[in-house]
Amino acid sequence: MSQRQALPIGVQTFEKLKESNQNYLYIDKTEHVYEMAKGYGYYFLSRPRRFGKSMLCSTMQALFEGKQALFEGLYIHDKWDWSEKFPVIRIDLSGINYENIKSVNDQLQNSLSKNCLKYGLQYEDLSLKGLGPKLGELIEKLYLKFNQKVVVLIDEYDKPIQDTLSNDDHLASNSLDVLRGFYSAIKASDQYIRFCFMTGITKFTGVGLFSGANNFNDITLDQRYASICGFTQSELENCFGDYFDQVDTEEVKTWYNGYNYLGDKVYNPFGILMFLDKGASFDNYWWDSGQPGFLAKMFEKGSYETYDLEGIELSSQELKQFTLSNLNLPSLLWQAGYLTIKKVIQEPFGGKSYVLASPNREIRMSLNMLFLISLTSVESNRLLKRSEAVRNLFKNDLSGFENNIRAMFSAIPYNNYVQNNIHKYEGYYASVMFSFLAGLGLKFRTEESNSKGRIDMVMETPTHIYVLEFKVNAPKPEGNERGEALEQIHEKRYYEPYLNDGRKIVLIGMQFSEQERNLDWFKAEVIS
Rounded-to-integer distance, Cα 185 and Cα 139, Å: 9
pLDDT at 418: 46
pLDDT at 52: 95
pLDDT at 1: 45
Tens of pLDDT, residues 217-231? 999 999 999 999 999
Contact 469, 494 (CB under 8 A): yes
477-495 in b/e form (b: 16+ CB < 10 A) is beeeebbbbbbbbeebebb
Among candidates 465, 317, 329, 346, which has minimal Cα distance to 396? 465
Rounded-to-integer distance, Cα 385 and Cα 373, Å: 13
Residue type, 278: K
Position 270 confidence tier, pLDDT thresholds 50, 70, 90: very high
Query: Percentage of the chain with pLDDT > 90?
Result: 59
3-state secondary structure 214-259: CCCEECCCCHHHCCCCCEEHHHHHHHCCCCCCCCCHHHHHHHHCCE
Q: Is pLDDT above 50 for 116? A: yes
Classify the C-alpha dihedral 289-292-297-302 as positive or negative: negative
Q: Is pLDDT above 70 for 425? A: no
The predicted model gives 299-313 an average pLDDT of 68
Residues in CB range of 113: below 8 A, 6 or more apart: 123
The predicted model gives 309-320 an average pLDDT of 84
pLDDT at 173: 86
pLDDT at 260: 98
Tens of pLDDT, residues 367-424? 887 777 777 776 655 555 667 888 898 999 999 999 988 988 888 775 555 454 444 5
Tens of pLDDT, residues 149-194? 999 999 999 998 888 876 666 888 888 889 999 999 999 999 999 9
Q: Is pLDDT above 90 for 516? A: no
Summary mean pLDDT of the chain: 88
* Higher-confidence position of 252 and 94: 252
Q: At what angle do helices 398-410 and 387-395 cross, to 10 degrees?
A: 160
Q: Radius of gyration of the chain from Cα atoms? A: 26
The predicted model gives 232-249 an average pLDDT of 96
Q: Which long-range contacts (CB under 8 A, 24 or more apart) does 372-376 make?
A: 372/432, 372/435, 372/436, 372/439, 374/296, 374/299, 374/300, 375/299, 375/306, 375/428, 375/431, 375/432, 375/435, 376/408, 376/411, 376/412, 376/416, 376/432
Mapped onto helix, strand or coil, the DSSP state of residue 507 is strand
Residues in CB range of 503: below 8 A, 6 or more apart: 460, 461, 462, 463, 464, 465
Residue type, 82: W
pLDDT at 97: 84
Among candidates 234, 240, 232, 277, which has minimal Cα distance to 256? 232
pLDDT at 407: 87
pLDDT at 381: 54
* % helix, strand, coil for the chain, step of 5: 45, 20, 35
pLDDT at 408: 84
Contact 488, 469 (CB under 8 A): yes
